């Protein structure tokens, strides 16, 4: 087991380092109005990859888990080779969409001195702690309270993936038309309000309505917050901004599962869903002024 630990550490570092760089390479060459769509395409590609991996991984595991690792390594090397060839074949024309304004907060260089950005990240950290309950306490509730078998949890996540593949690009195209502040607030609100459907009754119907609502929140949050971070980091240390944004999103695994299951055990699922709604409302209040100031600089 101890021989496996260094591999986990290296894999985790590589995965964490890859995500902010990947988003930057996808979003930075685009004009402002193109970035939500680019983020949507990235999300669709990611979910298609996950869907294919679920099938191929299961087939390879049936032959032997060593083939899963061989396939993972081969796929990673092919992806690295493709990206290297693509960026040499099609050089990126970096776009500067927003000029730093003298005398404004744009003169700040680092994200840790940017109070507007940090308030946005605090609000997002609360919202994604609620979002993470979809992967933790949601399944527990369906099994214990609604009596649904584990296959129904799989069906719920299949519905989530299908909705993202089908709807992410159309939603991303409209984010700027609907307004970044409206989409950010609505996405966060739906992330918490979706769980409240589970208190309306028992059975599959309410679970489906909950997953649909939660997925709509996810569809809005992903392109909207990526666009906001790109706007705020224009002319600044963008790599650090993207790194903190990715760390805030992925870092929910450090506290959200433990906190959610503790509240689930202490309060019960029905009360936990109301707590989730309250938390996202607090998140909206924290991020509102930060959103207003970021959008004002566009």
Residue 95's pLDDT is what? Answer: 52
CA-closest candidate to residue 87, choices 36, 37, 29, 35: 29
- Which strand (E) or helix (H) includes residue 225? helix 204-232
Residue 213's pLDDT is what? Answer: 96
> Long-range contact list for 250-254, CB < 8 A, 24+ apart?
250/16, 250/19, 251/125, 252/125, 252/128, 252/129, 252/131, 252/132, 253/132
With H, G, I as helix, E, B as strand and everything else as coil, classify residue 114.
Answer: coil
Domains detected in the chain:
5-100+108-296 (1.20.1250.20)
- Which strand (E) or helix (H) includes residue 106? none
pLDDT tens per residue, the chain (298 residues)? 888 888 888 887 887 778 777 877 887 778 777 888 887 888 888 878 877 776 787 778 788 888 988 998 999 899 999 988 988 887 766 555 444 443 444 455 688 889 999 999 999 999 999 999 998 899 899 988 888 877 788 788 888 888 888 888 889 888 888 999 999 999 999 999 999 999 998 888 999 999 999 999 999 998 899 889 888 887 777 778 888 888 888 788 888 999 999 999 999 999 999 999 999 999 999 999 999 999 886 6
Residue 105's pLDDT is what? Answer: 44
**Helical pair 204-232 and 150-178, crossing angle rounded to 10 deg:** 40
Instruction: Say if residues 137 and 269 touch (Cβ distance below 8 Å).
Output: yes
Query: How many helices (H) and strands (E) are present in the chain, helices listed first?
Result: 11, 0
Euclidean distance between CA atoms 109 and 141, whole angstroms:
45
Token duo for residue 60 = 């390879």
Residue 109's pLDDT is what? Answer: 64
Residue 54's pLDDT is what? Answer: 67
Residue 101's pLDDT is what? Answer: 43
């Amino acid at each position: 087991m101890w021989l496996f630990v260094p591999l986990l550490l290296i894999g985790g570092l590589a995965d964490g380092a890859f995500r902010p760089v990947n988003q930057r390479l996808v979003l930075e060459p685009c004009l402002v109005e193109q970035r939500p769509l680019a983020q949507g395409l990235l999300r669709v590609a990611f979910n298609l990859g996950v869907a294919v991996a679920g099938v191929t991984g299961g087939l390879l595991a049936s032959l032997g888990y060593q083939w899963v690792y061989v396939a993972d390594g081969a796929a990673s090397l092919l992806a690295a080779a493709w990206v290297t060839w693509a960026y040499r074949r099609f050089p990126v024309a970096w776009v500067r969409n927003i000029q730093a304004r003298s005398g404004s907060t744009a003169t700040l260089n680092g994200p840790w001195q940017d109070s507007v950005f940090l308030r946005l990240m605090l609000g997002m950290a609360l919202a994604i702690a609620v979002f993470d309950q979809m992967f933790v306490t949601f399944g527990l509730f369906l099994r214990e309270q609604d009596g649904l078998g584990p296959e129904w949890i799989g069906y719920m996540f299949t519905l989530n993936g299908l909705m993202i593949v089908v709807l992410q690009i159309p939603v991303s195209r409209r984010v700027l038309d609907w307004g970044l502040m409206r989409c950010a607030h609505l996405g966060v609100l739906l992330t918490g309000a979706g769980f409240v459907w589970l208190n309306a009754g028992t059975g599959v119907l309410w679970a489906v309505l909950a997953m649909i609502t939660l997925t709509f929140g996810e569809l809005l949050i992903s392109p909207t917050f990526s666009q906001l971070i790109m706007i705020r980091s224009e002319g600044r240390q963008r790599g650090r901004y993207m790194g903190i944004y990715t760390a805030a999103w992925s870092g929910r695994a450090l506290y959200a599962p433990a906190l959610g299951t503790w509240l689930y055990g202490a309060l019960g699922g029905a009360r936990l869903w109301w707590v989730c709604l309250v938390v996202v409302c607090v998140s909206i209040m924290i991020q509102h002024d930060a959103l207003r100031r970021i959008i004002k600089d566009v």
